[in-house]
Structure 1
């Protein structure tokens, strides 16, 4: 697929997915949060993860906060991303409570900056996604931070995209820089691609 066609198809699919997310009812969101939290806890437990890289979800995303609260309560080391101007991510452990508005108006944790390579030491990486296809190809929201991070890692632990059930699709448009994931976690299931 030529890059212009892929970029255009991604924009159209992202717009459709954003609209779908905006149309979720409060009850649907609460049900999704409960199921997602259960599945994230099961995944972290099954992998015996002692450290995890995750992110603070926005109000439009599947809610990661109950899982983060569980992880903190269990004594897991949780790394959260801090966006940088150069397109890389710094990481912090944060305190699980304090947030600030990051570079793009998204919620980010507050804490000591650990640098981009801190992620190399985690047992599990959870990433946001707009959609993931049947082959495990992830489509993000277009800034490329997670693709750049995952593409630069020498030895990558399991990477799971976090999304709503309807966002597992047959195929996503693909560009050269896009990175696949090992699995996906939704409110109703944990899917493995590798």
Structure 2
């Protein structure tokens, strides 16, 4: 596990997050095509194993951006298996709508990131899934997730009365000893990396 940078001072978690995000964003941008391809193969295998372990018939996931761990091969597998997969669509009010993955349709969302296209099911549709897979900039050994700063998934997870298992997808070097935490941040049950599945107590 990698230690958090010294800038991650608990006295100012907001600025510590900004510094850490910038460092992680740069690291992701500098990954080679071969590193990305190998990571995608690993992420796909680990996510398949996670779905099997939970016996999940329905789940939520997301369309990865250019520098994120690639979720598309996994989504293609899930679609071929007949699993019901909900994909998020960002709203201006900070909430997420959901649509069922049709295996092909996507467009750029309001933040310029790839999102699914389809019938909007509303924010509460996620309450029916067996497993939730979320993006992250980093996670720590205590299960705290640090996102990219827009708060969509923190709001979603924080509003759920009965939340199924939640796993963040990160590269191996993004599992840190500690990430800066703010009051609204929501923990996750585990993390999926290209080489392993981690579960947090």
Shorter-chain TM-score category?
A: over 0.9
Q: Which runs of 5+ in 2 are unaligned?
A: 1-9
Alpha-carbon separation, structure 2, partners of 1:94 and 1:45: 19
For the 8 Å contact 1:127–1:159, the answer to whether it is kept is: yes
Please show how residues 104-143 of structure 1 align to structure 2 within 5 Å.
104-143=111-150
RMSD across aligned C-alpha pairs, in angstroms?
Answer: 0.6
Alpha-carbon separation, structure 2, partners of 1:77 and 1:188: 25
For the 8 Å contact 1:96–1:109, the answer to whether it is kept is: no
C-alpha offsets along residues 165-193 of structure 1, whole Å, 9 cap, x if unaligned? Answer: 00000000000000000000000000000
The number of aligned residues is 192
For the 8 Å contact 1:94–1:112, the answer to whether it is kept is: no
2:155 to 119, 132, 148: 148
Alpha-carbon separation, structure 1, partners of 2:78 and 2:15: 38
Please show how residues 165-180 of structure 1 align to structure 2 within 5 Å.
165-180=172-187
Q: Which runs of 5+ in 1 are unaligned?
A: none
The CA deviation at 1:67 is 0.4
Alpha-carbon separation, structure 1, partners of 2:117 and 2:51: 23
Aligned to 1:80: 87
C-alpha offsets along residues 51-93 of structure 1, whole Å, 9 cap, x if unaligned? Answer: 0100000010000000000000011000000000110000000
Please show how residues 28-107 of structure 1 align to structure 2 within 5 Å.
28-107=35-114
Query: Is 1:183 the equivalent of 2:199?
Result: no
C-alpha offsets along residues 9-50 of structure 1, whole Å, 9 cap, x if unaligned? Answer: 000000000011011111111110001100000000110000
2:19 to 9, 12, 17: 12
State the TM-score, normalized to the length of structure 1: 0.98
The CA deviation at 1:95 is 1.2
| 1:160 match: secondary structure | strand
For the 8 Å contact 1:129–1:163, the answer to whether it is kept is: yes
| 1:59 match: secondary structure | coil
State the TM-score, normalized to the length of structure 2: 0.94
The CA deviation at 1:94 is 3.3
Alpha-carbon separation, structure 2, partners of 1:94 and 1:133: 30
